[in-house]
Every structure is written in C-alpha cells, then in structure tokens.
Amino acid sequence: MHNSTLQIFLAELLGTFGLVIAATGSIVYDAKLENTLGSVFVASVHFIGILIVVYLFGKYSMAHFNPAVTIGYFVAGYTKKSQLPAYFAAQIMGAFLGSIAVKFLIGDYANLGTNFPNFSYSIQVFYGIEILATILLMGTIFSVVYLKKLNQFSGIAIGGIVALDVFFFGPISGASMNPFRSLAPAVISGHFDDLWLYMTAPFIGTVIVGILFKKITKFKRME
C-alpha cells in the first residue's frame, strides 16, 4: 500500500466513525425502541455498516478501523511502525466523534452502546470468548487480504464475521473486538467498569493471528 499518511488518516477517521455509528447506534436505537428490534437487527446493522466502510475506504488504509487490527497487521508485517500513530490517532478520533454523533442523533440510551460481559459466565469464559471473536475477525481479514480472489468480497466477509460474532458471542462477552469502539461510549457515558476486558482481549486475539499468519506466509514463500 502506497497511500499517503493523510489518506490513511482520513480513511481511518471516516471509517471508524461509520463503524462506531453502526455498532453502537444499532444498540442505542434498539434500546430507544425498548429492545423491540432485537439481536438480529443489531447484528444486521453491524454487517451493513462495516460492509459500507470497508468498500468505501479499504483501498486507502486497508480498512483497519480498530487499533487491535492495526497491531495484528503490524505483527504480520503489513503495517509499518511509522504508520501506527496515524492509524491510532484517526481511530480514536473517529470512535469518539461517532459516539458523540450517536448521542445527539439517537439519544442517550443503553450507555451509548457500551460493551459489557455476561457475569453469569466465569471470567475465563467471557475473556476467552472475546479473544476467540477477535481471532475469527483477524483471521477473516488476513484471508481476504492474502487470497487475492477473495479481495472483492472483503466487505461481505469482514462485515459477515463481525455480525456473526456479535450475534453469537455478544450475549457472552459483549463481542467488541475493538478497543476504541468500547472506549468511546464508555468514556462519554461514564461507564468504565468493564473496559479492562475490551482494552486487552482484542489485542491478544489479533497478535496471535498476526504471528501465525506471518509464520504461514513465510513457510509458503520457502516452499
């Protein structure tokens, strides 16, 4: 990828903004309607929102929109160390702007879509599930990047795995997979209790996949 730092910054800012509006806005809107739309609606909006931002901005920044994904790309050798500040700055700004927009456009419901785990499960279970959800996300991302024939389906694949993670794992771990997506609504709504989970588990998941992917591609080149 040879796009300028400014192109990367703007793509990540706008993409993360759109992602957070879809991810948290779906939850907030459902809560506003007294949860009448349900988990299928929330997962579907995740799918549509991510599909749109991946296809709109992916060619400029590889569609990270998530600091954990950026670290996964970095570990695998796809993102340069010098690019990290632009990615992180754009993502955190986009996340906070998105969360502010949801508050003013939809309303202050459901703690603005703040993630939380289900404490009827043990910490080991929901922490492991959050790592697994992120592993599935990062694995899907690398698959569509590495397998060139799948590039045109990147938005569908990435949006699809996020939607499935949210639908199946959301009731257990919250299925954030994105530290800044969790941080922004938590800070603005003032609910910080579970941030430790979402600020750590996604990075573990993407680093695991980044290391494995780097080893696999290195082995393939040696064949």
Are the C-beta atoms of residues 112 and 185 closer than 8 Å to each other? yes
Q: How far apart are CA 156 and CA 162, in angstroms?
A: 10
- Rounded to an integer, what distance in angstroms lies between the CA atom of residue 203 and that of residue 189? 24
Each of the 223 residues of the chain gets a pLDDT tens digit; together they read 467 999 999 999 999 999 999 999 999 999 999 999 999 999 999 999 999 999 999 999 999 999 999 999 999 999 999 999 999 999 999 999 999 999 999 999 999 999 999 999 999 999 999 999 999 999 999 999 888 777 889 999 999 999 999 999 999 999 999 999 999 999 999 999 999 999 999 999 999 999 999 988 765 554 5
Is 60 in contact with 3 (CB distance < 8 Å)?
Answer: yes
Per the CB < 8 A criterion, the answer to whether 44 and 125 are in contact is no
Establish how many alpha carbons lie within 13 A of residue 16's alpha carbon, considering only the half-sphere containing its beta carbon. 35
State both tokens at 134: 């992120």
Q: Decide: 65 and 94 in contact? Cβ < 8 Å.
A: yes
3-state helix vs strand vs coil in the chain, percent to 5: 80, 0, 20
Q: Give the Cα separation of 88 and 193 in Å (integer).
A: 23
Residue type, 213: F
Query: What topology is assigned to 5-215 in CATH?
Result: Glycerol uptake facilitator protein (1.20.1080)
